[in-house]
């Protein structure tokens, strides 16, 4: 079984989404191995190609995920801070916010796929 992890649309990773992901009967969680851009995931599931180039904020609005962005003091985020080895507390807050937002978007998309799959198979 191919496994999926999620990436922010800011870090485009070109991987295919595996089709028909399912868990073995004795497992309760996916093990992560393949990275998938969350914008790509949303674009494929919602069949809206414009989502491929959407920002994280636009994706959250599209799939109706409400997460408050952390309040950050002006000038506390450095240019290209994502590639830094050492992050400030403010940068860690933003990184955590982005990861959690990706998780929430992907969870909502996966839930929709599972519900559609169950309704088409009569479960």
Q: What is the spatial distance between Cα 1 and Cα 21, in angstroms, rounded to a whole number?
A: 7
Grouping H, G, I as helix, E, B as strand and the rest as coil, residue 18 is coil
Q: What is the spatial distance between Cα 33 and Cα 35, in angstroms, rounded to a whole number?
A: 7
pLDDT by residue for the chain (123 residues), tens only, comes to 344 444 444 433 333 333 344 445 555 444 545 566 888 888 888 899 999 888 888 999 998 988 888 877 776 777 766 667 777 888 888 888 888 999 999 989 888 888 776 677 665
Q: What is the spatial distance between Cα 90 and Cα 94, in angstroms, rounded to a whole number?
A: 6
What's the confidence (pLDDT) of residue 48? Answer: 92
What's the confidence (pLDDT) of residue 12? Answer: 36
């Amino acid at each position: 079984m191919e496994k999926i992890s999620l990436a922010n649309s800011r870090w485009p990773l070109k991987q295919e989404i595996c089709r028909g992901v399912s868990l073995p009967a004795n497992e309760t969680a996916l093990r992560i191995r393949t990275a998938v851009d969350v914008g790509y995931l949303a674009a494929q599931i919602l069949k809206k190609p414009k989502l491929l180039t959407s920002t994280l904020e636009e994706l959250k609005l599209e799939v109706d995920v409400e997460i408050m962005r952390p309040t950050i003091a002006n000038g506390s985020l450095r240019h290209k801070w994502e590639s830094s080895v050492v992050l400030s507390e403010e940068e860690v807050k933003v990184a955590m916010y982005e990861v959690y937002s990706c998780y929430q978007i992907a969870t909502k998309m996966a839930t929709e796929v599972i519900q559609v799959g169950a309704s088409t198979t009569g479960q």
